[in-house]
Amino acid sequence: MSGITATGQKRLVLISGRAHPELAEQIAECLGSELVPTDSRTFANGEIYARFDESVRGSDAFVIQSHTSPINEWLMEQLIMVDALKRASAKRITVVAPFYPYARQDKKGRGREPISARLVADLFKAAGADRIMSIDLHAAQIQGFFDGPVDHLFAMPVLLEHMQRELDPSTLTVVSPDMGRVRVADIWSDKLGVPLAIIHKRRDPLVPNQVSVHEIVGEVDGRVCLLVDDLIDTGRTIVKAAEALKASGAIGVVVAATHAVFSDPAVELLQSEAIDSVVVTDTLPLPAHKRWDGLTVLPIAPLLANAIREVFTDGSVTSMFDGAA
């Protein structure tokens, strides 16, 4: 037989953006691996540069970035890293975006609006991404925006395990803060074996244009309510929901959310008397000034590391979630 043959092994390469290096380091540690040393810089005019200090040729590369503020900068950095990997002959490139940027802009609600979540998927594709890994997408259909495999992970097992330890199911009710979260809240109520309530926000017909009233479907009087949401941004949605629950007789309100965006004034609002405790994951960095006694932050790195291992070894991500992913 003539010609050159190669029987090399697959090589896992982990790259981190600068937004949340602690998360990437924890993922690497869970995998018993290390991050590729990278020279990342921002020039005086705001342009970003990235170069890997070692060869990535032929590798199975995972580019980890947390899309926290300033989100456009971190998105651009991840795109540039993907481009650099493509031009350095990485064999397969996976964008790891635990919190998918622009996920809330997933449809045209009114004329002349963008669908920015789709634009982000197109940008990842154009840069050279082969697949995307994300957690609790704001809308599941975002998976279809990217023309390639999307590993949609769920933080529920991480949050659920904590809640099962901390809360008494005999007085507990799971609450969806709006109609959009009902499906997820329903799964929570099944897993915990407790009743479900739903908050329906609607306009007060007597006060046009602005005031909305919270109608609660389900029994919350005398119950501890577990409000579940995918993300907390300014905190207004969840605090109003908690206040409505307390006004309807709830004896406690615990909040569980995957993505702690915590834009101002979230930290102040979430310390409201209507909320007993808030539990989130660290898909996004949470500096000390965004933490308080009533906040619990659960590590998401083990979940991401397991998913990366499954993808790298051609295993099954679905098997991590009882066949649901």
- Which of 98, 235 has the CB closer to ligand R5P? 235
Burial 227-256 (b: 16+ CB within 10 A, else e): bbbbbbbebebbbbbbbbbbebebebbbbb
Q: Is 201 a catalytic residue?
A: yes
- Which of 48, 184 has the CB closer to ligand R5P? 184
- Which of 126, 179 has the CB closer to ligand R5P? 179
Q: Nearest distance from residue 257's CB to ligand R5P, in Å?
A: 8
Q: How many residues bind ligand R5P (CB under 6 A)?
A: 13
Per-residue binding string, ligand R5P, 248-277, x by CB under 6 A, is ------------------------------
Q: Nearest distance from residue 253's CB to ligand R5P, in Å?
A: 15
Q: Nearest distance from residue 236's CB to ligand R5P, in Å?
A: 4
269 contacts: CB under 8 Å, gap ≥ 6 = 234, 235, 236, 239
The candidate with the shortest Cα–Cα distance to 97, out of 68, 118, 119, 70, is 68
297's tokens: 């932050």
Question: Strand 252-260 to strand 196-203: parallel, antiparallel, or no bridges (unpaired)?
Answer: unpaired
**Residue 106 within binding range of ligand R5P, rule CB under 6 A:** no
CA 125 to chain centre: 20
Contact between residue 139 and residue 106 where contact means Cβ atoms under 8 Å apart:
yes
Distance of alpha carbon 19 from alpha carbon 136, whole angstroms:
19
Q: Nearest distance from residue 186's CB to ligand R5P, in Å?
A: 15
- Which of 148, 180 has the CB closer to ligand R5P? 180
- Which of 104, 309 has the CB closer to ligand R5P? 104
Per-residue binding string, ligand R5P, 199-238, x by CB under 6 A, is ------------------------------xxxxxxxxx-
- Which of 13, 257 has the CB closer to ligand R5P? 257
* Peptide bond before residue 114 is cis, with ω within 30 degrees of 0: no
Q: Nearest distance from residue 235's CB to ligand R5P, in Å?
A: 5
Q: Nearest distance from residue 177's CB to ligand R5P, in Å?
A: 6
Which one of the listed residues 201, 240, 246, 290 is annotated catalytic? 201
Q: Within 10 Å of residue 135's Cβ, how many Cβ atoms?
A: 25
Q: Nearest distance from residue 178's CB to ligand R5P, in Å?
A: 6
Measured in degrees and rounded to the nearest 5, phi and psi for residue 40 equal: -115, 130
- Which of 230, 282 has the CB closer to ligand R5P? 230
3-class SS of residue 306: helix
Question: Counting Cβ atoms within 10 Å, is residue 133 exposed (0-12), middle (13-18) or buried (19+)?
Answer: buried
- Residue length of the chain: 325
Per DSSP, helices labelled H in the chain are: 21-30, 71-87, 116-127, 156-166, 182-192, 236-247, 266-269, 301-312
State which of positions 144-203 bind ligand R5P (CB under 6 A): 177-178, 180
Please report, as ranges, the residues that interact with ligand R5P according to CB under 6 A.
Answer: 104, 177-178, 180, 229-237
Catalytic residues: 201
